[in-house]
Every structure is written in structure tokens, then in C-alpha cells.
Amino acid sequence: MANGIPGDSTVACNPAPERTRVWVVVLAAGAVMGLALGMRHVQGLFLLPVTGTRGWSRELFGFALAVQNLAWGLAQPLAGMVADRYGAGRVVAAGVGLYVLGLYGMTQATSAGGFVLAAGVAIGLALAGTAFGVVYAAVSRKVPAPRRAWAIGMAGALGGLGQFLMVPAAQGLIVAMGWQAALLVVAGVFALMLPLARVLREDSTVEADPAPPQALGEALREACGHRGFWLLNLGFLACGFQLAFIANHLPAYLADRGLAPGAAVAALATIALANVAGIYACGVLGGRHRPKYLLAGMYLVRSLAIALFVLLPPGPLTLYPFAAVMGLLWLGTVPLTNGVLSGVFGLRYLGTLFGLVFIGHQLGSFLGVWLGGWVFEATGSYTTVWMLAIVLGLLAAALHWPIDDRPVVRLAPGMAGA
């Protein structure tokens, strides 16, 4: 604890410049993820202003964000492959540029197709380059093993802090300037993130993967032949469904139940603030305990929290405890899933493999956002979607428990999966 980093037993032998370098990497990763995921976290605050101004339905807004999640998921493996091959810096830079373009496009779109292209495709592709898939892989490779769990947890916590700060910032900008000007301000802040891409370049990897070298094709065949890889993918679908539905439809759900707009802002802020502690704790605990069991427990608690929230009368006494519990479990699944993958398959193609698993997450996100809007337009209620979120959480807990999380054995190059 001499350097203030929990669980670091290498303090005495690590010079100050090395500690500084690690902190710079962590801060850069946290800043990029905080802004990227923070903007995604507050998209629900724009639902009513955008649809009210343009005369669009909630289903259309939900469909645009569903496309965003699907584009993110489909692009993440490619982003991971490019980052694994050429370094994360270039991918992050491209993601920042696409985010600026997408936010600007949202302000200019007057047709449904234009809005889906900007909010859905452009920002979805941007997230593939600026969120945890690429950034966590870069941190994992740039930070020594004894400090890796801490670094991932801290980067995630800083990203969660960014999400928290984005809630009052976005709401304040919308009230003061309108939703279009608010998006333009965020786009300008995003442009300032571009220099941080250089910090995440992997031109000086700290530590080589000790496993025998592999070609990308061998790594993919090895992963696709591993039962746990598919269980992670299926289980991650529940995470995407729950988070995307809650983040994007909770404000409208609360308004429908008679709560003031401030309740939604406070709830999203509570989720983001609790996520700071939750993601840090999950990152650190993932280095001490088997991540698959932590994941199973998290999905069980999520389902229980959702069930209580839906069954009990709406109000501050139910909303804010629900938001706090969900926040503690919000993005903690990501470092834990990342931990299972790196523990089983190693670091060399971590960005690629996480990207493939993330497709399941984003398929769930697509369904959560789109079904939320479609079911509401069809029935006038979100009840069916809440029930589905509970069932998927229980299923995810059952799928994670039997994962074989032992490292794969590679006898020699070219023999993976033999």
C-alpha cells in the first residue's frame, strides 16, 4: 500500500517513473471511456426533447439507438482486430472523430433515415473505438500483471465518474441551450480527447504474453471451439438488454408513472455514481476471485432488484435504492468478462475476442432499446420488457456458472485446439 495502490506487492521495486506512466495510461483510458459511455448513458434524456421537436415516435428514437448498439457490436471485433494488430491509439482516434461526426449529424437530421444514420451507425461505430473493448485491452497490455486488475478497475471507475458528471451536464445544457446546442457542445469536448489516443498507443508493451505465439486464425478457432466462449457470449446478451433498456427508457417510464423529470436525472446520476464504486470493486475483486462466479452473482442480484422495483409502488423510496443497486452492478460485468477471456485465452488477441463476445451484449442492447419502444407503442406499457429483463438475468446467471475458466493449453505454435 506504500504507493496507494491496493493489492500491489511490487511497490518497492517499481520506480516512480513507472508508477507515473501507469497513472497516465489509466487517466487517459478513464477520460476517453467516461465521455464516450457518458454520452451513451444520457441518451434517454434526449428522447422526449428530440421526438417532441421532430414529431417522431418513441419507437423511431428507440430504433435509432438499437441500430447504434448493433453497429457497435458488429464493429467491435473489427476494431479489436485492428487494435491488436496496429495498436489502440489509431482506433481510439478514429472513434473520437466518428463520435464528433455522429453528434453533429444528430443535430442536422430532419428525416428518420438521417437520424438513424447519425445516432445509430456513426455513433455505434464510434463506440467500438472509444469504449471498453479497445481501451481495456490496451490497458491490459500496457500495465504489468501485478497492477493490471487495479488499473482496469481504476480506469473503469474514472469512466464511471465521467458518466456521472455527464448526467447533470447534459440536463443543464438541454435546459439552458436546447438539445441541439447541447449535442454540439459535447461534440466539441469530444474533439479535445483526440490527443489522448497517443497515450494509449501500444508501442512499448510492458509484458509479452507467456503463451506460445498464435496466428489470428488459430486464436479464433481455439475460441470458437471453447464452450465457455459461447456461454460468455450468451450471458452477455442479458447485460446488454438490461442496461440499454433502463438507460434509454427509464426517464420516459418514470414520466409515465407521474414522477417529475428531476427524478429521472437523479436516478441516472445515482446509477452513474454507484457505477464508479462498482466497476472499481469488480476490477479488483476479479483479480482475487474467479470472475465467472462474481458474474453469476451479479446477474442474480440484478434480476432481484428489477423485480422489486417493478412490483413496488413508484417513488423516491423505491427508485433511488434501485438505481444505487443497479449502478453498483452496471458496468462491473465488463472487467470481469474481460478477466475470464484473458485468463482462458491470454492477452495477444484480447481485443478481438472481447469484440466477438461483445456481439452478444450488443444484440441484447439492440433488443432492449428497440423492444422497449415497440412494446410501449403496442401496449402503452413497459411491463412486458421489465419481465423479460428479469428472466434474461436469471438465465445469464445459470450460463456463467459452468464456464471452464482454466487457461487453455497450447503445446506448440500451430497446434491450438488440437
Which residue carries 474481460 as its cell? 338
The count of other CB atoms within 10 Å of the CB of residue 195 is 10
Residue 226 lies in a domain: yes
In a domain, 189, yes or no: yes
Give domain status of residue 9, yes or no: no
**165 backbone dihedrals φ, ψ, rounded to 5°:** -65, -30
Backbone φ and ψ of 360, nearest 5°: -60, -45
Q: What is the CATH number of the domain that holds 34?
A: 1.20.1250.20
- Compute the mean pLDDT over every residue in the chain, rounded to the nearest whole number: 84
* Whether the model pTM is above 0.75: no
In a domain, 356, yes or no: yes
- Check whether 5 has a pLDDT greater than 70: no
Q: Is residue 156 part of a domain?
A: yes
What pLDDT digit, counting tens, does each position of 10-29 carry? 444 456 677 888 888 899 99
Q: How many CA atoms, within 13 angstroms, populate the side-chain half-sphere of residue 360?
A: 19
Give the tens place of pLDDT for each residue, 217-234: 888 888 888 898 999 888
DSSP 355-378: HHHHHHHHHHHHHHHHHHHHHHHH
Distance CA 330, CA 90 (A): 28
Reply yes or no on whether the pLDDT at 385 is more than 70: yes
- Are 78 and 128 contacting, i.e. CB atoms less than 8 angstroms apart? yes
Share of the chain above pLDDT 90, in %: 30
In a domain, 259, yes or no: yes
343 in Cβ contact with 293 (< 8 Å): no
- Determine, yes or no, domain membership for 39: yes
Which backbone phi and psi does 321 adopt, to 5 degrees? -60, -40
C-alpha closest to that of 353 among 224, 194, 252: 224
356-363: average pLDDT: 86
Domain coverage including residue 52: 16-201+213-400
Grade residue 304 by pLDDT with cuts at 50, 70 and 90.
very high
Q: Which of 366, 7, 415, 39 is nearest to 219 (CA)?
A: 415
The single-letter code of the amino acid at 56 is: W
Strands (E), 265-406: none
Number of domains in the chain: 1
- Alpha-carbon distance of 73 to 331, in angstroms, equals 16
CA distances from 59 to 47, 252, 302 (A): 10, 12, 26
Domain assignment of residue 412, yes or no: no
For residues 311 and 277, what is the distance between their CA atoms, to the nearest angstrom?
Answer: 27
> Quick one: CA dihedral 173, 177, 179, 180, positive or negative?
negative
